[in-house]
Amino acid sequence: MKYVFGPVPSRRLGQSLGIDPIPLKTCNWNCVYCQLGRTMPLTLERGEYAPRHELLAEVEQALAACQPGEIDWATFVGSGEPTLHSGLGWMIRQVKAHTDLPVAVITNGSLLFLPEVRDELLAADAVLPTLDAGNAWLYRQINRAAPRFTFERLIEGIEMFRKVFTGRLWIETMLVKGMNDTAEALGEIALVLERLQPDHVHITLPIRPPAEAWVRLSDEAGVRRAEQILGKIASVSVPSESEARATRVGDLAETVLSIVTRHPMREAELLTLLNRWSADEVRQALQDLAGRHQVRAVDRDGLAFWSAAAMSFHTSRGDKK
Ligand code: SF4
């Protein structure tokens, strides 16, 4: 399948059927921690990136292949910013017409200042925008958005959406050591959260190879600080390594490729996740994909992560790998 993957385990959404309407790294942000590598170039315009009817046919096929109770959420997410797809509202409504599953959209939130995007997302049951910074300077340092997508527009967009959205608004905050995990930075994020009134805040960590090699995970003290400061405004959940099982949809090589394209993983993690196949089968699939230049191993602090070959990672501020 080209546009649908999983179900895969998600800390926020249980077993989530991933729906990816955007080609790899089609995004208007270039986050320093992005696990998909650097955004080159930034994409500014909305468009019909995935053919909507083809995508919907895949969703129907995946839903038919799963047992009742096997999926908790259908989630628009993946290898770029899903609100850049101009048919997102139509696709959300169509998915909801085909299933009783709740539909979530994981988004950077940057297009919510557009009335049409807010209207489209009203059809979802949960929307998960990103908030990594409480001021414009830090937002530019971390998210490196295209200039028209300013911090003020991000906050105003989420705030306007909150006023009309009756579903769940869950903010996602990626904690980067020394950038947004200080008491000052977290205090500023908390002030913004007061305006946004989210139902929940998910704190996440850049545990996969980030676009910039100098990015470091916030340590335990930083996570505790975030929990304490942000927790005064909203309920907060903190990271834990989720362990779950991928479900067999499509063949093994296709499954491996769909996972590492969106979520670079160590080989041991892949073996655990794909334990419906033998370790030899998974290793062989990785070698076959590498031989076809579809995946590659990327070094991160001495650990090898498998990722899509097309991803671009940098080992230092200047060196491309
Ligand atoms: S983390 Fe998300 S918003 Fe940031 S660059 Fe990557 S795909 Fe875009």
Which residue, by CA, sits nearest to atom 6 of ligand 1? Answer: 34
pLDDT tens digit sequence for 237-269 = 997 644 333 333 357 887 788 788 877 888 888
pLDDT surpassing 70 at residue 276 = no
Count of Cβ atoms closer than 10 Å to residue 176 Cβ: 27
Percent of the chain with pLDDT over 70: 92
Ligand 1 centroid to residue 206 C-alpha, Å: 12
Strand order through the sheet with 14-19: 4-10, 14-19, 73-76, 103-106, 126-128, 168-174, 200-204, 236-237
Nearest to 233 by CA among 94, 131, 82, 110: 131
Which residue, by CA, sits nearest to atom 7 of ligand 1? Answer: 80
Q: Which atom from ligand 1 is nearest to the alpha carbon of 27? A: 8
pLDDT at 242: 41
Residue with structure tokens 């031989």? 291
pLDDT surpassing 50 at residue 114 = yes
pLDDT at 22: 94
CB 127, CB 165: distance < 8 Å = yes
CB 20, CB 3: distance < 8 Å = yes
Q: Work out the angle at residue 265's Cα, subtended by the Cα atoms of residues 262 and 267, and round it to the nearest 5 degrees.
A: 140
Name the token pair of 231: 């927790």
Ligand 1 centroid to residue 32 C-alpha, Å: 9
Q: How far is CA 320 from the centre of its chain?
A: 23
Name the token pair of 244: 């779950």
Pocket test of ligand 1: the residue of 22, 26, 31 to mutate, having most ligand atoms within 8 Å of its CB, is 31
Ligand 1 centroid to residue 278 C-alpha, Å: 33
pLDDT surpassing 80 at residue 185 = yes
Ligand 1 centroid to residue 68 C-alpha, Å: 32
* Protein residues whose CB sits closer than 6 Å to any atom of ligand 1: 27, 29-31, 34, 36, 39, 80-81, 108
pLDDT tens digit sequence for 12-55 = 899 999 999 999 999 999 999 998 999 999 999 999 999 999 99
Which residue, by CA, sits nearest to atom 4 of ligand 1? Answer: 31
Reported confidence tier of residue 198, pLDDT bands at 50, 70, 90: very high
Q: Which atom from ligand 1 is nearest to the alpha carbon of 33? A: 1
pLDDT at 180: 98
pLDDT surpassing 90 at residue 99 = yes
Ligand 1 centroid to residue 63 C-alpha, Å: 27
Ligand 1 centroid to residue 142 C-alpha, Å: 10
What does DSSP say about strands 4-10 and 303-308: parallel, antiparallel, or unpaired? unpaired
Q: Which atom from ligand 1 is nearest to the alpha carbon of 110? A: 3
Architecture (CATH level 2) of domain 4-247: Alpha-Beta Barrel (3.20)
Which residue, by CA, sits nearest to atom 1 of ligand 1? Answer: 34
Ligand 1 centroid to residue 30 C-alpha, Å: 6
pLDDT tens digit sequence for 295-320 = 998 877 778 889 888 776 665 444 44
